[in-house]
Amino acid sequence: MPYSKQPNNCQILSLLQWPLSYLAIFWILQPLFISLLFTPLWLLPALYFVWLLLDWKTPEQGGRRSAWVRNWYIWTHIRDYFPIKLVKTEDLSPERNYIMGVHPHGLLTFGAFCNFCTEATGFSKTFPGITPHLATLSWFFKIPFIRDYLMAKGVCSVSQPAINYLLSHGTGNLVGIVVGGVGEALQSVPNTTTLILRKRKGFVRTALQHGAHLVPTFTFGETEVFDQVLFHESSRMYKFQAFFRRIFGFYFCVFYGQGFHQGSPGILPYSRPIVTVVGEPLLLPQIEKPSQEMVDKYHALYMDALSKLFEKHKTQYGCSDSQKLLFL
């Protein structure tokens, strides 16, 4: 297991604010705002909710990103906690649109967040003229304030209308899809490289329909930052995890990392390098109604390109020479 350094307090606080900010919005800001409806300040939340209704479709129409939020200095502390790095292997032309497969999901997707939702690793300088949009669960955009915070970072809905909009309005759009989805979180165990991909072909079909190029990416170290407790499929805990996913859309994972003191266990992720390698784009034709055979063909080519990307860089970024990608 790779060595885990002890981060400084500033890095720890910056990392903790990321999930805690969402919890604060949901459990503190929203109830507080609703309570204002019963005070002399009722007009403030009333106007917001009217605006919310008028703005309801914005997450599926390109969103509303904020360069200011994406450039917050606090993101650099999260970058340095691990640290996180973005590696380019080929240029991406701003004259095209792209669907980027993000692998693996990991538990909290630190690499994809830092590289594509912030400018901490210099995405805009690395890929000039390219606008990244990391897609996530659609129901997040139904939650007041959280939707705005997500859109400010350039996050978009993973719904088909949202992706279609981005790929059909202008060029230079890069839509990142975590293809393995939340199910892949249960595969997030150190020293493993298991991806849920064999039957995930919808992103290929969408790319063909829009003539968008496919970009394979692999984040080395994403599954190394937490240890996870796995449960047998017949156990009550596993059944609870499956039930939790049906209700909330993601798994309730039991995991742990390091504590606030060197060598102690705790809730913090291990400070181990995370490197996202962006591969060479796979050129696709535009076919309005691609056949299943055509989808299968380019899906196979994509899997092959992803495997080659992994094999080329694995020993450089912490994997053993014998480690292979396993597709489920």
Is residue 83 situated within a structural domain? Answer: yes
Per-residue model confidence (pLDDT) at position 22? 87
In the chain, alpha helices (H)? 9-24, 30-35, 43-54, 67-70, 74-81, 110-116, 123-126, 146-152, 160-168, 202-210, 236-248, 292-313
Average pLDDT, integer, range 209-218: 98
Q: What is the CATH number of the domain that holds 239?
A: 3.40.1130
Cβ atoms 133, 63 nearer than 8 A: yes
Q: For the segment 123-179, what is each residue's pLDDT rounded down to a tens digit?
A: 999 999 999 999 998 989 999 999 999 999 999 999 999 999 999 999 999 999 999
pLDDT the model gives residue 61: 94
Q: Which two tokens stand for residue 168?
A: 């059909």
Place of tokens 């050129």: 283
Percent residues over pLDDT 90 in the chain: 76
Residue bearing the bigger pLDDT, 248 or 290: 290
Residue 111 has pLDDT above 60, yes or no: yes
Q: Is residue 143 part of a domain?
A: yes
For residue 177, give both structure tokens.
Answer: 């899809």
Strand locations in 120-159 (E): 131-136, 155-157
**Token digits of residue 109:** 């997707």
Question: What pTM does this model have?
Answer: 0.92
Judge whether 280 lies within some domain: yes
pLDDT in tens, 7-44: 888 999 999 998 889 888 988 999 998 999 999 999 99
Residue 3 in domain: no
Domain assignment present for 316: yes
Residue-range definition of the domain harbouring residue 292 = 9-327
Long-range contacts of 45-51 (CB under 8 A, 24+ apart): 48/144, 49/144
Considering all CA atoms of the chain, what is the largest pairwise distance in Å, rounded to the nearest integer? 67
Residues 323 and 318: their CA atoms lie apart, in Å, by: 10
Higher pLDDT, 200 or 247: 200
Residue 4, in any domain of the structure? no
pLDDT score, position 1: 47
The confidence score (pLDDT) of residue 3 equals 58
Encode pLDDT of 56-82 as tens digits. 999 999 999 999 999 999 999 999 999
User: How many structural domains compose the chain?
Assistant: 1
DSSP 145: T
Q: pLDDT averaged over the chain?
A: 93
Q: Is residue 62 situated within a structural domain?
A: yes
Q: Is residue 191 part of a domain?
A: yes
